[in-house]
Structure 1
């Protein structure tokens, strides 16, 4: 004996809307991490909490940390999270 239920149109509409929203947000996040793209927007000026500038931290993130993270993300452990 097979039991079937009818799903109301409002539930289908809500589920479709949520899936569409998740797809759009996923595309936005994925676009931020394209290869050869710098990590963050360009900030300028001195940082009050330490003796460095926003440019020096930005350079460190883009040229030291970001390539290491990209290599790490190509490892087998992270293949399920892409």
Structure 2
């Protein structure tokens, strides 16, 4: 139904962020908000001497860490690529 570019958010200064308002194809008048946030290297990456797993992308790193640290992860949590950048999608 609609899309918007977001500028503010916790820990996201300088990252591309988009919000989408999606309408259900099954149920009339049912909507969900989906966020798509750019994923970049961890800010501690240059200072960390401990070997890290080989992630498929930065979005995969963020999602895997989120799933390990939260009891219930956000709905629709998944990685995606848009214009050659990796993003995390979540409801």
Structure with higher RCO (Cα < 8 A, 6+ apart): 2
- Give the TM-score of the pair, scaled to structure 1: 0.27
* Structure of higher CA gyration radius: 1
